[in-house]
């Protein structure tokens, strides 16, 4: 039945990675063959140098020429595979770049959509008002801090030079009072009640009538 109706090919097409790996494997095989032929050519070269000119040397040369022709064929095939592999690598890079571009554009579109949805809940006027309010609050707080940190100063009428002069004169007065006899000092203002009892020169209390007689 398969010969009459055939078989559907459901196998997936090879990817660029698979094709590149396959060509890379074949290039490795070509390199091994070329290296083997190089070893044969070295051996023939030694035989030619060790053999005298004549039929034997000519036969060795013919074998070496055939090996060299085979080597050239493998090298051409390897160069073709290298060119194909390079083209496939470029195609792979371009394909991956296109996929990355599509993913990036899709993500940017979704991001723009989300931004539009979020911006519906934000108004620039509200942001400006909030910034102005915050600035006012900060300015007011700075005024409060400056007021709290203000130092208490003496009145402007008190000059420092005047205070220093007064301090010097006060010191001189105190020294003068300390050196002056007590009987020469100006009597102080009485602080006692005149109706209270007084004492005589001996410290004895004087009655009210006696005080009047003395006067």
Q: Read off the pLDDT of residues 138-157 as tens digits, 9 standing for 90 and up.
A: 999 999 998 888 766 655 55
Confidence band, pLDDT 50/70/90 cuts, at residue 162: confident
DSSP state of 177: H
Using a pLDDT cut of 90, give the percent of the chain over it: 36
Q: Over the stretch 110-149, which tens digit does the pLDDT of each residue have?
A: 999 999 999 888 888 888 999 999 999 999 999 999 888 8
Using a pLDDT cut of 70, give the percent of the chain over it: 69
Q: From the CB of residue 200, how many other CB atoms can be counted at a distance below 10 Å?
A: 11
Q: From the CB of residue 212, how many other CB atoms can be counted at a distance below 10 Å?
A: 9
Predicted pLDDT at 183: 57
Q: Which residue has the tokens 């004169």?
A: 169
Q: Over the stretch 77-101, which tens digit does the pLDDT of each residue have?
A: 999 999 999 998 999 899 999 999 9
Q: Over the stretch 13-45, which tens digit does the pLDDT of each residue have?
A: 778 888 888 888 999 999 999 999 999 899 988
Q: Average pLDDT over the chain, rounded to whole? A: 79
Residue 201: pLDDT over 80: no
**Stretch 49-56: mean pLDDT:** 88
Residue 175: pLDDT over 50: yes
Predicted pLDDT at 106: 96
Residue 199: pLDDT over 70: no
Residue 191: pLDDT over 60: no
Instruction: Please state, in angstroms and rounded to a whole number, the distance separating the CA atoms of residues 126 and 120.
Output: 12
Q: From the CB of residue 30, how many other CB atoms can be counted at a distance below 10 Å?
A: 20
Residue 209: pLDDT over 70: no
Predicted pLDDT at 72: 93
**Stretch 56-74: mean pLDDT:** 90
Confidence band, pLDDT 50/70/90 cuts, at residue 170: confident
Global pTM value: 0.46
| Distances in whole angstroms, Cα of residue 34 to Cα of each of 65, 85, 124 | 14, 19, 74
């Amino acid at each position: 039945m398969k010969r009459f109706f055939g078989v559907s090919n459901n196998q997936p097409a090879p990817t660029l990675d698979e094709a590149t790996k396959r060509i890379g494997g074949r290039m490795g095989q070509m390199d091994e063959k070329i290296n083997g032929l190089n070893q044969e050519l070295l051996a023939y070269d030694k035989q030619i140098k060790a053999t005298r000119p004549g039929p034997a040397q000519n036969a060795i040369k013919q074998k070496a020429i055939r090996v060299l022709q085979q080597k050239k064929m493998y090298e051409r095939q390897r160069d073709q595979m290298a060119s194909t592999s390079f083209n496939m690598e470029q195609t792979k890079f371009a394909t991956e770049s296109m996929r990355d571009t599509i993913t990036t554009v899709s993500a940017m579109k979704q991001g723009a959509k989300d931004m539009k949805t979020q911006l519906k809940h934000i108004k620039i006027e509200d942001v400006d008002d909030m910034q102005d309010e915050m600035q006012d609050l900060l300015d007011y707080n700075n005024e409060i801090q400056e007021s709290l940190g203000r130092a208490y100063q003496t009145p402007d009428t008190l000059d420092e030079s005047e205070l220093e002069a007064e301090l010097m004169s006060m010191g001189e007065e105190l020294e003068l009072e300390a050196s002056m006899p007590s009987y020469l000092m100006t009597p102080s203002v009485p602080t006692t009640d005149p109706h209270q009892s007084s004492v005589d020169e001996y410290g004895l209390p004087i009655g009210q009538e006696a005080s009047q007689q003395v006067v």
